[in-house]
Structure 1
């Protein structure tokens, strides 16, 4: 069965939600999602990869056509990741009180993660925490070390856009609310510094 999902003009995370719902409704076939946002296109492609589904993307007159194929063997192909600890960083500073001290503490927190024997499986950055993953941040090099050791670094695309820093992402990938919630609900432990 083939189905078209028209998610043009829909804000994150609606294109992902609409596509996942359509995928649940079929056992085999192709779901073609129409979107007009590059971030949504990237998020759909990422979702397909993570769930072991093959996909093809084309662009026509500013509209992306993401065709995701589902078959009986798709679930067998899905990569099972060991999701353990997820760290949620919702601010560019740690704790309340002095802003300068809070930024020093956050930088120290991220550096200390690089020194731990077991690194977190994912670090989620949103709200002003998104500022930590962009060019000029003092923590980018530490985050690169964590990424090299296997930590998934995800930054909220809506937050990057809000602060006008979407073109300055220096580490990790742009994420969306659906993935932010998914990573937290699938984690065995969530830490919020």
Structure 2
């Protein structure tokens, strides 16, 4: 039985690593080590949704999860809300800020980084990602998400950064991934989209 140690991994890495192993070897049992209740709950929910059973053993600062396949294990990309609705047209991710949500900017930057990292780990890639306003900072030099964005681009995702926004932040010479776009292209992409995701 394979064991993966996710104790020192920040969210959402434990669930992503577990998902990767379950998809790669759905017929095998898996042991996952985590250090907190949130990781335990996320992994348990993922495994149960795909038809696996999970047994947990809690010791001092460690939770051991034993994940076992069942005859009804579902080996398919998962959706946190059950079966994804099918829609016609492209899927567009629209990022209008370098952080996610309102409240703490520091937390928002961590959440946005985790969102992009997680998006790059899924197999259901969007057609394109549109960056506007301070969101363009994520595609430029010194960004902490250049690697997952490049992975997305390498897998056929079109990465577009608003040219006016790059000029406003004086970043037009610092673009590292994707292409410069304009508002007409942004509007047309959104009009033709079957689904728009805005984190």
What is the aligned residue count? 112
Unpaired segments of 5 or more residues in structure 1? 1-81
Distance 2:166 2:89 in 1: 25
The aligned residue for residue 99 of structure 1 is: 105
Distance of aligned partners of 1:83 and 1:147 in 2 relative to their CA distance in 1, 3 Å threshold: farther
Aligned-pair distance for 1:114? 0.8
- 1:157–1:174 CA contact under 8 A, matched in 2: yes
Structure 1 runs of 4+ with >4 Å offset:
none
Unpaired segments of 5 or more residues in structure 2? 1-87
Distance 1:102 1:89 in 2: 13
TM-score by length of 2: 0.55
Q: Deviations over 1:122-157 (max 9, x none)?
A: 000000001000011000111000001110000000
SS in 1 for 2:173: helix
Q: Deviations over 1:146-188 (max 9, x none)?
A: 0011100000000000000110000000000000001111011
The aligned residue for residue 51 of structure 1 is: none
1:129 aligns with 2:128: no
The aligned residue for residue 183 of structure 1 is: 189
1:148 aligns with 2:171: no
TM-score by length of 1: 0.57
Distance 2:147 2:121 in 1: 13
Relative to its length, the structure with more helix (as a share) is: 1
Could you say what the CA RMSD is over the residues aligned between the two structures, in angstroms? 1.1
- 1:83–1:121 CA contact under 8 A, matched in 2: no
Distance 2:187 2:89 in 1: 13
- 1:114–1:142 CA contact under 8 A, matched in 2: yes
